[in-house]
Amino acid sequence: NDILVVSALGRSLDLGALYDARNDKFIKGFYLWNSEDIQSKTRVSPQPNTRLQVSMSESLSEKTSLLDVSASVKASFLCGLVEVGGSAKYLNQKTSSSRQCSVTLGYHVNTEVKELMISELETPKPELFAMTDATHVVTQVLYGADAFMEFQEMASDDSKKQEIQGNLTVMIKKIPTIEISGDGSLNMDDQDKKKVKNCSCKFNGDFYLKDLPSTFEEAVKVYKELPSLLGEKGEKAVPVKVWLYPLSKLSNTESKLKRMISETLVSQLEKVMDEFHQAEVRTNDLLKSSKEIKAKDIIRKLKTFQNSLRFFTAQFLRKMSGLIPAIRGGNMEETALRDLLKSRDASGFSGKEMEQWLDGKETEINVVTMNIKAIPDYMIKAEGFELETFLMGPKVIDAFVFCFTSLIYEEPYLKKISQAVENFKCGSTSSTPEQDPTQEVPWYKRQDVNENLRSSRRLFESASFKKVISFIPDPERPGAAVRWYRESVLMDPHVTSLPLQQSWACKLTLDPDTAHLNVSLSGRKVTWVEAPQPYHNPISHKRFDYWWQVLSKEPLIGRCYWECELVGKSYMGVVYESMNRNGEGNDCVLGGNAKTWCLMQLDGHHSIWYNDTNESGNIPIPQSSSRVGVFLDREAGSLSFYSVCFDTLTHLHTFKTTFTNETLYAGFATEYKDGSVTLC
């Protein structure tokens, strides 16, 4: 039987309007007195007041506080019984990402109060009360207008969010003091302009604007215009607060409003809705991250969770919207609402359980992302069509695929919430099964899996084939596996070590400053030509002046493997930097001295030379191969030559020696028109 005070929230109303407090709705088109009586018994009192509020909170409780929403109306708004308008649409604004920074400027102005002198009106006839479901009548209205300017900016990461919110707060507090110059620009220094350069603005208000502001500059200009938009005498003001007189006092009958929902319970409901929203926001962020790395299995699980959450939220609100009016009308006890909250806690959609599961997904995504980003120049192809198209590309012969193998596994939590959703669909109140507290440790937290991830990544990084990252389940290799494809055909699903070519392959280029003037360098091919070549520095001290030879531009460091294709009489080998370049003696030719080692190809044979000695004799060249491979392990004092046929190496000869600290280079030579050397 108390007078209620509620926020108008942009709803259409006037003095004498009827109100049903059980569902917080104004009843249109029905009055207890005629309009002339209402107008004659209305007292108007000026009540000018203007105030500003700045809020950084994105929670529903903070937003309802800015609008001064009572607990009763808040409960009705939460479950959808109240449809808001005007400035109150701000309550419907929700962030979609946790990296979205939001700071709100609330502008509130009051103009006057209109009061219906109800004691001076005749008591309505009893039959009028029987014709309506109303519980109250509007006897006093505070007029004015509210406006909310929500300034938003997306942070690149969580660490930047606090800085951005701080900058926005500082700038929003400056809005009343910012002046507009004659040309319409804002008088702001460069530092302040930088703070608001990337922010956007959303406007919700009771003022009519031709154009809504979308930038900070536009928002400042709108702010300056707000006082004039109410009209000279405030005639464009709208109801902002309403006083409701109980009809039971007029009719001397029992009130249809039996009880109000306790503020404690409303706070619990508000907390639940905030938790639902935070879970939705976090899921959006995780979906974005998992889409960036093309992790389809994680995306599928997140969407399953998101769809279940949305369905459960909708059903939860539907039940709540039926319970609240029934409790207020005395048809149900408040315990029914408490039971609904308990069923939510048992369903898997409690704040704690949602947070724990999303924590796990975030960790899993972070583990995958960190391993991907640790690989230089990575390229991701989703399993299926995208990966198959890549492998069948005309330029892809051999390819290594680094596969995350453990993203498909049973999720007891998803099973639990799916069961809760089914229970809701069937109208069942049966509890969902509890999760097994001893469930298996997830793959991304296992030490053995982390070790496998590291070893697979090192193996993958050292390969010189085409490389791509994907997601292919493989229970035999938890965490990750390296797969080898040749011309789109899987050759090895579990590569554990690389062939010599892949482990230590180095890319060499030819140094024109060392090339004899009659040696032509065409890309990676060495040939003899009759006409001297127009090299940039023809008298370089590094250049060979008699023998048709050239060295690599890159020094040979540590372990190195490279291959060449030899045609006709040609040579390849390793030389010390101090090898003599001038003259025709053995000290200037590959294999003719103690500073060079080489393989010579001649008349269908290979021979290995050191210090002018044939160390191997004549070795027939296989018909299927014209390639030769060289592997240098400087620290081990080993230099080996191989005949190469596809990926098969046939050992020809190994030198065992102790290399000095002097720099080593690869050397190449050819004779006359029939010979050439091509770096592979």
pLDDT for the residue numbered 434: 61
Mean pLDDT along residues 514-540: 92
Q: pLDDT of 195-237, one tens digit each?
A: 999 999 999 999 999 999 999 999 999 999 999 999 999 999 9
Q: What's the chain's average pLDDT?
A: 92
Least confident among 13-17, 423-427, 573-577: 423-427
Residue 412 has pLDDT above 70, yes or no: yes
Provide the pLDDT confidence category of residue 72 given band limits of 50, 70 and 90. very high
The DSSP result for 57-97, as a single string, is: --SHHHHHHHTT--HHHHHHHHTT-----GGGGGGG---S-
Which CATH number describes the domain made up of 519-679?
Answer: 2.60.120.920
Q: What is the DSSP letter of 445?
A: G
Least confident among 148-162, 200-214, 258-272, 296-310: 148-162
pLDDT for the residue numbered 435: 57
Residue 165 has pLDDT above 70, yes or no: yes
From the centroid of its chain, how far is CA 290?
7
Residue 331 has pLDDT above 70, yes or no: yes
Domain locations along the chain: 4-257, 264-498, 519-679
Which string of b and e fits 16-35 if b means at least 16 CB within 10 Å? bbbbbbbbbbbbeeebbbee
Q: pLDDT of 237-289, one tens digit each?
A: 999 999 999 999 988 778 899 999 999 999 999 999 999 999 999 999 999 99
For residue 421, count other CB atoms closer than 10 A to its CB.
20
Provide the pLDDT confidence category of residue 438 given band limits of 50, 70 and 90. low
Nearest to residue 406, comparing CAs of 303, 290, 295, 498?
Answer: 295
Residue 83 has pLDDT above 90, yes or no: yes
Would you give the end-to-end CA distance of the chain in angstroms?
Answer: 94
Provide the pLDDT confidence category of residue 153 given band limits of 50, 70 and 90. very high
pLDDT for the residue numbered 650: 85
Provide the pLDDT confidence category of residue 433 given band limits of 50, 70 and 90. low
pLDDT for the residue numbered 585: 95
* Contacts for 1 with CB less than 8 Å, ≥ 6 apart: 246, 248, 249, 255
Residue 428 has pLDDT above 70, yes or no: no
Question: Which residue in the block uniquely carries the two structure tokens 């937290």?
Answer: 445
pLDDT for the residue numbered 430: 57
Residue 501 has pLDDT above 70, yes or no: no
Cα distance between residue 65 and residue 441, in whole Å: 43
